């Protein structure tokens, strides 16, 4: 396995509560890794450790190591702003900015110093094409992003992320607020994007995990119970707790 992210003995505490316990995991490059498990099991918390989003919460302590291409992202030398450029996140609810479609996508590149209009035009078109949205919005780039449908807003958020040229995409239940057709479009997009990006997705939907992921990690009460190829996890899990969860006995 060619690992993009390596996690070693990761523990995370919210003040006195331990949310993650001794997590060891290799996230393969250019594949989709799904994180599954019941609510409150630690999967979203784990996702946020991969770009230090948990730093934004008071009282959080992290122990262990998370290596991105061999660099410890919790080490003193890590530039957190640059880390979040490399490792971007798509949230459960689409969160476009209250500005035009164009300005949403151009926002990140402008923050990082790109002012040339022609260059911005190229980035916006390339990012919207990569997010499978260009054909739907190319004639209304100056219109407000909040007028898009939920599924289009989520793909716009993905385009906004791609515009700053990340390497890893973190997706926290990216289709849970979408209808079935919009969900299908995002799932199809994930399959295309993994050719260029490493993707980690949190999902409550077992069928979605089976459809879109190459590897699956099952979390339960802060522990990584089982991790392996998705086909193996869903057909021949090694742990009884994994089988009980994916067959609907709890969760």
Q: Cβ–Cβ contacts within 10 Å for residue 139, how many?
A: 8
In 3D space, the residue among 136, 100, 135 whose CA is nearest the CA of residue 120 turns out to be 100
- Kindly write down the DSSP assignment for every residue of 183-194, as one continuous string: HHHHHHHHHHHT
The whole-number pLDDT of residue 251 equals 74
How many C-alpha atoms does 161 have within 13 Å on its Cβ side? Answer: 25
- CA dist., res. 202 & res. 171, Å (int): 6
Q: Are 42 and 209 in contact (CB under 8 A)?
A: no
Helix or strand or coil: residue 146?
A: helix
For the chain, the C-alpha Rg in angstroms (whole number) is 18
- Contacts of residue 174, defined as CB under 8 A and 6 or more positions apart, other chains included, come to 90, 91, 92, 154, 158, 186, 201
- pTM across the whole model: 0.96
Domain regions of the chain by residue span:
3-246
CATH of 3-246, one of 3.50.50.60, 3.40.50.300, 3.90.226.30, 3.90.1150.10: 3.40.50.300
- In the chain the beta strands, taken as DSSP E runs, fall at 3-14, 17-28, 32-36, 60-68, 71-72, 87-90, 168-172, 198-202, 215-220, 223-229
Along the 251 residues of the chain, how does pLDDT read in single tens digits?
Answer: 799 999 999 999 999 999 999 999 999 999 999 999 999 999 999 999 999 999 999 999 999 999 999 999 999 999 999 999 999 999 999 999 999 999 999 999 999 999 999 999 999 999 999 999 999 999 999 999 999 999 999 999 999 999 999 999 999 999 999 999 999 999 999 999 999 999 999 999 999 999 999 999 999 999 999 999 999 999 999 999 999 999 988 87
- CA dist., res. 80 & res. 60, Å (int): 16
């Amino acid at each position: 396995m060619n690992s993009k992210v390596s996690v070693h003995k990761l523990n995370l505490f919210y003040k006195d509560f331990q949310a993650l316990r001794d997590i060891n995991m290799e996230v393969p490059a250019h594949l989709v890794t799904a994180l599954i498990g019941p609510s409150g099991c630690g999967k979203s918390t784990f996702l946020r450790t991969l770009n230090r989003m948990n730093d934004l919460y008071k009282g959080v302590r992290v122990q262990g190591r998370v290596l991105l291409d061999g660099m410890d992202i919790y080490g003193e030398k890590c530039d957190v702003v640059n880390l979040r450029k490399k490792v971007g996140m798509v949230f459960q609810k689409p969160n476009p900015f209250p500005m035009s479609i164009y300005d949403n996508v151009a926002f990140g590149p402008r923050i990082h110093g790109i002012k040339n209009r022609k260059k911005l035009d190229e980035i916006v078109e390339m990012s919207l094409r990569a997010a499978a949205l260009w054909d739907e919005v190319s004639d209304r780039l100056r219109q407000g992003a909040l007028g898009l449908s939920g599924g289009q807003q989520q793909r716009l958020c993905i385009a906004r992320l791609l515009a700053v040229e990340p390497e890893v995409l973190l997706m926290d239940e990216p289709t849970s607020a979408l209808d079935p057709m919009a969900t299908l479009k995002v799932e199809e997009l994930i399959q295309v994007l993994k050719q260029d990006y490493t993707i980690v997705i949190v999902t409550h939907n077992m069928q979605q995990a089976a459809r879109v992921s190459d590897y699956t990690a099952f979390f339960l009460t802060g522990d990584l119970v089982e991790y392996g190829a998705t086909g193996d996890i869903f057909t021949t899990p090694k742990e009884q707790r994994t089988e009980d969860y994916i067959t609907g006995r709890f969760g």
